Structures are given as C-alpha cells and as structure tokens.
Amino acid sequence: MVEADQSDNVEFKWGKKRGVGGTKKDVRFYESFSYDGVEYTLYDSVYLYEESEPEPYIGKLIKIWENPDKSKRVKILWFFRSCEIQNYLGSEDVHENELFLASGEGLGLANVNPLEAIAGKCNVICTSKDERNSPPSDEEVAMAEFVFFRTFDVGQQKISDKIDEKIAGIEAKFMLNKVGGLKLDGIMKNNAITKKDIEEDNKNIGASDKCVVHSRLNDISPSEQITLRIKDGVDGDKGKFSVKLDKKVEIKLKRPLQGPEDGERPSKMAKLDVSKGKEEGNSYATISMNKCENEENAMEMLGKQKDKLKSPNDITETSLKPFTRKSLEKAKLSNAKFPNPSKDVHDEVDNVDYEKKEVTRRPNVENKSKWFTQLPWEERMEDAHKKGMLVLLRNLDPSYTSTEVEDIVWHGLKLYCTAKMIQRTAITSPHRGEALLIFKSKEAAEKAVKKLNEGCLMLPNGRSLVGCIGDPYFLGDQRIFHGHLVFSCARHPLNREKEAVSTSHCSQSNTIEYEMAMDWCLHQKKWDRAWQSLYKQQGEELRKHRGNFKSK
C-alpha cells in the first residue's frame, strides 16, 4: 500500500490505505502518510503555513486522500487561536496557548487543502474534563505547544466547553487525546452515547427516515462510511447527485434494520438525506470536493440548512472555505477561515479598559513553530523601519524577556507585535529596559505610540510605558572605531602591527603601546564612573518620583 511519490522533491510516502472512492474507485483514502520525514496520521494536529499570515494556522487532519490526478489532499478541521475569535470571546478568560476547536457548522469549520500546505506537526493536547477524554498528564500538558478544551461554534459564533458528539462528521473521540492502543477502526463501535443525546438529536433533526439511516449505519466500519461519503462527493462532482444519493440509500437499506433506540447516533449522513433534495447534495458534494463553481449558491444552501438544523450535535460536513484555483496552483494553504475578527480589534482599541489586568501568555506563539524560518531580526527590523512599523518601547523592567514584552503589548494595547528586548551592555541603563517592537502595520505602530503617549499604561513598580517610533542604528556598513592605530615604524621593534592585528596580546609595560593602553584604561574608568553616577542620579530621580504615586 505504499506508494512513493514522484512528483515532489520532498520525501513523501503514503501509509496505511483506508479505502477507495470515486466512480472509478480512483480516489484513494489513507490513514497515514509521511511527509518530509514526519509521520502523519489521521486526526493529528498540524501547522498549516499561509504565506501572507505571520502565524501558521493549526488544524486537525480529518481526511487524507489522493485524487485520480495524483494530487494529494487533506481535510483540515480548524483550531482557532483566541485572537481570531476575539470578538466572540467577551470576558472569557483565555488560558495561555489555548486553542478553540471549530465546531457547529458554517464558514470556517473545515477546509480541504493540498497536503503540501502542511508545515509540520503540532502538539495539541485536549485538557477537557469531558469523560470521553483521557486526562493528559501534567507533563504532557507542559510539553504541549497548545491545549484546547473549548470549542467555537462557527455557526452560532459561541464558545462552549462541551465538545459535541460529532464535529464535521467526525467522532469527538478522535478530537480528544489518543488513548494508547486505541485503534481507529475499533472506536466507532464503542461509543457511549446517552439516550438523552439521541433523543435530543432526534428531536432536532426531526426527520424519521434519517434516524433509520443512522441506525443502519451504526455497524458500518469507518472506512466503509468514508467510502460512501466520498462516493457521494465524487459523483456529485459530476452532477449525478440524485442518482448516487439513491444508490446510497440502497446501500444503507441493505443493512440490517435497527430501531433508533439501539444506540444510534447522529451521523454526517443525516445531512445527505435524500429528502433534502438534489440541491443540497450538490452543495455538499461540490464543497467537499473543492470545486466550488457555485460556491455562493452552496453557502446560501448551507445557510438554509443551518436554520433547519439547530442542534449542536448536528454537524454538517462543510468545508465552506473553498479554495481558489490560484492557491491550488501555489500549493499553499487557502484559508480565509473565518472573517478575521482580530482586524476589528483595531477599531475597538479606543475603548480603554482601566481595570488592572494580569499579563498572561498571549494566546499565540508565533515563534514556537520551527517549521519555517524567519528572516534574521536585523532584516525584519530594517524592513519594518522603512515601513514605519517599528516602535521603541521604553521604561520596561530590564529583566523582561522579549516574549513577556510581546505579552504586555498584547494585553495592554491589544496589538500583535514581535518584540526584542535590547540587550543590556555596560553602558545601558539599569533602570529602564528598552525593547524594539515590530508591528504588523504602520497604522498599528502609530496607534500603539499614540495610545502610549496619550494614556498611561502602568506596569509593576510604577513603570509607565513610553513608546516612540523606533529609529535604530543599523549595523552593516563599516563603523568607525577609535583607538586602533597603525604602528608603521619600519625598522623598530614597534613594528608589530601584523602580529598585533592577527592576534591578541597583553602588552609589556616598557612599550609605547602600553602607555597608550593605560590612557585607554584611564578613559574607560573615567567613563565608567561617569555612567555610574549618571545612572545613580537617574535612579534617585526615578525613586523620588515614584514616591508620588498615591496607590503604591
């Protein structure tokens, strides 16, 4: 079942095959593959890199297949970073490195993407208290790059800490932590569903024939199910929905009939119910196969469908973010995911919240993913400087780290930036740390400076932050360095320049250079004292001034 890939330079191997689909059985489904030396299995969490986005997207592999034309596709169920859904978060506390699993139905739930868009594996641990979830150990949590225990319903745009029975047609079990020895094929049969769930589901769906379909599907192994699903998709693609849908029903009817009471559970199949007619099938099939010619139509249909199916259990398989031909060619992640709410943040910035807040890890760890290299800081800084996106932040505690500064900016200004603390040297002030920040746009940088100028953002120990547009001194061109002389006396022992330049040495006390060096030592000591007294005086001034604070 292993096929080597020839079209790509990056090492690629298919893993275990799950089944075939399509009219000619030419779409192959897989359970695993290895790409660029990394082993990926179904339901793994992965990073997906989008060129225009500084942070990679994170999602779960919920389907892996190869089209007849050898193009490799993965279906990704998205995780949201809290910044992406910030407008819907309200006053919710967001934990450090927390993600939200997409659920419900609607735009942004899941997408089909080229397999090559995967940038790497991401370690996401589910910390849900849900009984279906095997609780992770503390160590696992500590090692995890991200955790999630809540979901974000893309249709209702609500955060929930319940994990639905099915998300995008996939058992919740697969979304949770993998238990050792849990086999993919085995899981479908052991699910514990309460009667209540079912009743609720039935009520919500309301179509009796659907229930029958479900019950019959109960014994079908996942691979069969998937096969069926894809068959619909592929056929649908060719415009034969009604026929194929009928066929599907036939298949189902061949299964032994069971009543809805025998622990039947909602299945994605429900959405494909014949009663919904051709058009809906059309939208489903079209979307899932990623050829959204009538994408608008499809969205509309799904919108209607959403109205009909209100239960959170009732999840349609919708990869509503269709991807464009352009992105296909580029083999890049096509993903608008969700109307990006973080953009709106800029507009809300003016509503200053005067409450005291604790700075936690900002909900995004962009540097954590090591799968794509960032430009060196100097280059990024120079670029940012040209574009006016560079800000110098003053009066930080010198012991803050760059990441802590990023967190502070995130919490204080609600803006994303990349920060770099200016490293201390012998002559930097011990009282105030400085950091350079690269914002994402000139507007953001200006906004940050304006806010810091107009308001007073206080950090512990009575530090009020100062921001100004950064104007750093750039390295690169040749710098003047005073104090190294060329000794060019041709015939004298002083002629040691070659030696002196190529090596380092301690000077003897009977030479002229020793005397000169002593001058430099004197100069250094003198200036050391000068700096010391300057900073002592400044420290004194600061201390006195901080004494004026009433609340501290």
Partner 1 sequence: MASIAEKEYDAFQERVRRTIYIDNLSPQVNESVLKKGLGQYVTVKDVRFIPNYSEPKNTARCALVEVETSEQAQEIIKDVIDAYPFMILGIPRPVRARPAEEEMFDDRPAKPGRRIELQWLHPNDPDFQVAWKLKRLVKKHAAEASFMMKQQLEAEEKLAKQQEEMLKVNKEKLMLIDGVMDDKSAFRLASYYNVNDAEI
Q: CB nearer to partner 1: give 131 or 354.
A: 354
Cβ atoms within 10 Å, residue 510: 7
Please say whether the beta carbons of 105 and 309 come within 8 A. yes
Q: CB nearer to partner 1: give 26 or 515.
A: 515
**Nearest Cα residue to 357 out of 291, 419, 409:** 409
Q: CB nearer to partner 1: give 293 or 540.
A: 540
Terminus-to-terminus CA distance in the chain, angstroms?
Answer: 69
**DSSP secondary structure of 102-132:** EESSSTTSEEEEEGGGEEEE--EEE----TT
Nearest approach in angstroms of CB 481 to partner 1 is 5
DSSP conformation class of 428:
S
Nearest approach in angstroms of CB 507 to partner 1 is 5
Q: CB nearer to partner 1: give 261 or 519.
A: 519
**Burial class for 455, CB neighbours closer than 10 Å (0-12, 13-18, 19+):** middle
Please state, in angstroms and rounded to a whole number, the distance separating the CA atoms of residues 82 and 85: 5
Q: With H, G, I as helix, E, B as strand and everything else as coil, classify residue 239.
A: coil
Nearest approach in angstroms of CB 162 to partner 1 is 26
Q: CB nearer to partner 1: give 257 or 426.
A: 426
Q: With H, G, I as helix, E, B as strand and everything else as coil, classify residue 36.
A: coil
- How far from the centroid of its chain's Cα atoms is residue 113's Cα? 16
Nearest approach in angstroms of CB 238 to partner 1 is 53
Nearest approach in angstroms of CB 389 to partner 1 is 15
Structure tokens given for 90: 């309200």
Cite the DSSP H helix spans in 40-94: 86-89
Q: CB nearer to partner 1: give 69 or 355.
A: 355
Structure tokens given for 493: 């022992």
Nearest approach in angstroms of CB 141 to partner 1 is 7
Q: CB nearer to partner 1: give 292 or 436.
A: 436
**Burial class for 515, CB neighbours closer than 10 Å (0-12, 13-18, 19+):** exposed
Structure tokens given for 525: 């000591």
Please state, in angstroms and rounded to a whole number, the distance separating the CA atoms of residues 314 and 372: 37
Q: CB nearer to partner 1: give 137 or 441.
A: 137
Nearest approach in angstroms of CB 182 to partner 1 is 26
Nearest approach in angstroms of CB 415 to partner 1 is 13
